[in-house]
Amino acid sequence: MDETRKGFIQLHLSVLLAGFTGLFGRLITLNEVDIVCYRMLFTSLILLVFTGLPRVGWRKFLQLCGCGALLGFHWILFYGSIKASNVSIGVICFSLIGFFTALFEPLIYKRRLSWLELLFSVITVLGVLCIFSFDARYRYGIAIGVVSSAVCALYAICNKKASVGVRSRTVLMYQMSGGLVLVSLIIPIYLLFFPSQQPVLVIPDGTNLWFMLCHALFCTVGMYLLQIQALKRLSAFTVNLSYNLEPCYTIILAFLIFGEGREINFSFYIGIALILISVLLQTRRAWKK
């Protein structure tokens, strides 16, 4: 099996696991800050058992911690968007990650802007608009979700560079543990701008504890190990654009499990079709390369 094909298999398995992330955000009744802290803590402990503490250079260690902080901040905003609206809105906003990547990646890597990548991203944006139809009831959740997707785009771009030459498990281990420390410093500032209506930093128990452990093991350790492997074989834009399939999985599951508000109408199918077209076009382009 060639490296590109292997990368696509790893990528789409990780997207499938990512589809359950939004559902756990709804099932876990804790504040978004608690969800992120425990997710990173449990993931760090799981990885510590399997990887120990491999030695990396200080510069590489700081880079990985910085990526972990971006990831943790993205998660806080992502779950905040779900809490402020619903699962469907949170994951639809996440689809904008491809659009932001098409803008940020050329700036960070100092290369020319790809108008073709931007076109693929615009198709995705149109799909998002068709699914969402700008429902004003969820304006606050949408705003948080848009910022969340921008932060996640930065994470994926920086992670591609920071993970070079380091084993995937080691990358994730230091991102989770180092990111947890840095995210803890961000939390007071976040709560200052977005005050919580729930108690913060409570100990999970019962179903919350069970859901958090499953979330950490499958939707974090499993998903991100596959994603990091895929990033070593594919571009950050291809990986991020393919993650636009995540809302397709999550929305359908949210309708089935939670019976979320809206009926599936014609515009929903048009939006899903546009997102799928943008992903398939970029996949075909990357495969031909």
Q: What is the pLDDT of residue 267?
A: 74
What pLDDT was estimated at residue 289? 64
Residue in 287, 277, 284, 286 with CA at minimum distance from that of residue 123: 277
- Residue 93 is predicted with a pLDDT of 81
Q: Please give the torsion angle defined by the CA atoms of residues 196, 96, 86 and 270, in that order, rounded to the nearest 10 degrees.
A: 170
d(CA 264, CA 120): 24
pLDDT score for 135: 58
pTM of the shown model: 0.82
Distance CA 104, CA 113 (A): 9
Per-position pLDDT tens, the chain of length 289: 678 888 888 888 898 888 888 888 888 888 888 899 999 999 999 888 887 888 888 899 999 999 999 999 999 999 999 888 878 778 878 878 878 888 888 888 877 877 887 888 788 778 777 766 655 667 788 889 889 999 999 998 898 888 888 888 888 889 999 889 988 888 888 888 877 777 777 888 888 899 999 999 888 888 888 888 888 888 877 787 777 777 777 877 777 777 765 555 677 778 778 877 877 777 677 667 6
